[in-house]
Each structure stands twice: as structure tokens, then as C-alpha cells.
Structure 1
Amino acid sequence: MRHMQSPAKLAVRDRLLTARGRRPLVDVVADAHAIAAHLLGAPEVRRAATVAAYVSIDGEPGTGPLLDGLRAAGKRVVLPVLLPDGDLDWAAYDGPDSLLPARFGLLEPAGRRLGPESVGTADAVLVPGLAVAADGLRLGRGGGSYDRALGRVPVGTFTCVLLYDEEVGVAVPAEPHDRRVTHAASPAGIVRLRG
């Protein structure tokens, strides 16, 4: 179920995607390692037994070093599986070899599906986005998948969007279905957002 997109959101999304497309690969790799270091050192992630994360695509801040680090730290990592209706199911991550190609260029875990509600049992939830406002309002790609998933996460859970530095603190047009996140991680560090 795709939401109707406001012209303001479409314009911001287009600008951010264009900027991501121009980012040099060497910067993308360095930024992925910086973000992983910040998150792996964050108390909320260090304390977490289960972390919901995702596999980055298309110029997103890279999650490879983060996923490797979470597994090396003994965390149970669950990754999303996109359902036909745009909702997200979840399955355990068992390393890069356990990922299979899926729709829209995504990589998904091959393991047993845990159900859409299972994201609510994660101790930390790491999500993609294109930008986040100072109040935690996150701009995604427009499918609403993560807004639905975040709606299942208990209040008070560490929910963090992974971004590039210039995407943090951006004015994001709000819509009724939008769900806020508590933090943003970028190469500069982790920022707590006013929710």
C-alpha cells in the first residue's frame, strides 16, 4: 500500500537521492565504517540482544561493516523481507552468504520468516531513510514499509535512522502516517532527536 506523495515530499526526496547518486564510492565506504563504529559503541546497541537492521542499497549509507560487527559482537540480527503488500516480515541474518536477491534490487535473508510483529521484540531498530528532522520525523522512499514496522515497535525502544551528515536536521514535510525515530546515526556520530 503506497501512500499518496505530497509534492513537497517528492521534491525533497528527489534532491536527496540526486545528492546520494553523486557521492564518491570511497566516501560511501569510509562513511559505512564510521557509522558502524558509532553504533557498535552506542550503549543502546551494546546492551541489545536482538537488533533489527537492513541491507543497504543504491547509495544508502553502507550497512556491511555494521552487520558484520553486530554478528561478531554476538547479537541476534533480524533483517526485513518485503511482502507483496509493502509490509515487512523479518528473518534472522546468518551472514552475507545467507542473503538472496529480491524485488527492487533488495537482498533478503533466506531463513525462516518470523512475522511482521517480530520487529517489536528487537532491543534496537536501525532503519534506512533519506533525511530526518530535528524532531525525529524521518523521510523514507515513500512506500510506507518502515512507518508500518515502526508502528509495531514499543515506545522507548532505540530507533535509529542511518544517514549522511547533511541529511540530519533537514526539514521534512509531515504526513499523518509518518512515524518518528529517536536517533540518527551519521559519520559524525549519533544524535538524539526530540520526539
Structure 2
Amino acid sequence: MPADLSNEKRALRAELRERRRIMPSTERDAATVALTENLERLATDLGARSVAAYLSRPEEPDIRPFVHWAHDRGIRVLLPVSREDGLLDWAPYDGGEEALDPYGMPAPTSELLSPMAISEVELILAPAACVDSRGMRMGWGRGYFDKTLGSMEKRPPVYAVLFDSELVDEVPSEVHDQRVDGVVRPSGILTF
């Protein structure tokens, strides 16, 4: 990766982390309610019976209420577990205990499935630092979701979950970066 691009991504990620860090709790709580409604609508409109999601970290848009909602309605939810080789294993959400994976990411403690398990889902919800108006997603720099999405032969709709201010004009991108089909924000759902 060229040094300029690496520095540009690093600076943008730092700015976005700081915005998330200083977000008032009332704004964060309102965003969670609106995101949950929009995620429920997206899953319902797509008729999704299985979803790949993730367990939000405290600074991320909180999708845990959606994960609970989907599980309570019999929608199969797969959650990622980071591996040392840069791939993601998947585990079904069972409403049970959580742990931290080796990289400090929240992960379920249920049965571990292979990276191929994601090929069975009908909707993928991906974390993101930001997404641009072309659907180019920028993650947090580890490349797990880019590798996963790039390796899928047939992939279902992929939506990044963002706060409203994280839909930007342009994201610095490289060949391996993967686009998403849309974004879910507190203000609504946008499909590219």
C-alpha cells in the first residue's frame, strides 16, 4: 500500500474513532433505537431467515438489540470469531455467554463453525468505519471482512452499519477493499 494512502486511511480512522468516542450517550441511545428499527425492516423486507452479523463493541453502532430480535423470531444469526490467519470462523448466536476473541472482539461461546458457514446466510451486516457514496467500505484495518467478502463465490446483500455522519463523499481504497450493497444508519437504509 502506498504510504500516502496508508496515512490517509490512518488519519480518517483516527478522526472517526474520536467522533465515536465523544458522541453523547443520548445521541448514541437514540441511534440504537433507530438502527434497530431499520435493521428489523431490512431483514423483514428481504425475507432473511439467516443473517451474518456481529457483536458491537461499545464505541460501535449498537446492533445487539437487532441480534436479539432476530434470534427471538427464529432467524439464524451467525457471528464472527477472528482467526490468526486473518479469516473469520462463525458461530451461531444462541443468546448465551460472550467472550473476547484473541483480538479483543466480542464473540459468542457457542459451537464454532468454519469460514464457509457464511455462504448459507441471506444477509450480511458488516461493521465499518465509513462508507462512501459508491458503496466502498473502509473497515478498521485488519481486513477480515474484506477477505471474507472477497472470497465468497455467491454473496448475499451486504449492508454496512454506520452512524449518520459516517457516510462520506469518498473513501480511500485499494484493490482488495470490498464494496457493500448498502448502508443502514439511524436516519434510514440506503441501497447502492
TM-score, normalised via structure 1 length: 0.90
1:138 maps to: 137
Structure 2 distance, partners of 1:18, 1:190, is: 24
Q: How many residues align?
A: 191
For the aligned residues, what is the CA RMSD? 2.1
Q: After superposition, what is the alpha-carbon deviation per residue over 1:48-94, rounded to whole angstroms, capped at 9, x for unaligned?
A: 11100000114110011111111122100000001112211101000
2:8 maps to: 8
1:86 maps to: 86
Structure 2 distance, partners of 1:161, 1:138, is: 8
Deviates more, 1:49-58 or 1:20-29: 20-29
Q: Structure 1 residues 69 and 154 mapped into 2: Cα distance closer, same or farther (>3 Å)?
A: farther
2:185 maps to: 186
Q: After superposition, what is the alpha-carbon deviation per residue over 1:138-163, rounded to whole angstroms, capped at 9, x for unaligned?
A: 01000000101112345562100000
Contact 1:98–1:109 under 8 Å retained in 2: yes
**Residue 98 of structure 1: how far off its partner (Å):** 2.8
Which runs of structure 2 are paired with 1:1-195 in the superposition (5 Å)?
6-42=6-42, 46-95=46-95, 97-155=96-154, 157-193=156-192
AA partner of residue 107 (structure 2):
E
**Residue 46 of structure 1: how far off its partner (Å):** 5.0
Q: Structure 1 residues 149 and 46 mapped into 2: Cα distance closer, same or farther (>3 Å)?
A: same
Q: Which runs of 4+ in 1 moved over 4 A?
A: 43-46
**Residue 101 of structure 1: how far off its partner (Å):** 2.5
Deviates more, 1:41-50 or 1:105-114: 41-50
Identity score, percent: 33
AA partner of residue 164 (structure 1):
F
Q: What stretches of structure 2 of length at least 5 have no aligned partner?
A: none
SS across alignment from 2:173: coil
TM-score, normalised via structure 2 length: 0.91
AA partner of residue 87 (structure 2):
D
Q: What stretches of structure 1 of length at least 5 have no aligned partner?
A: none
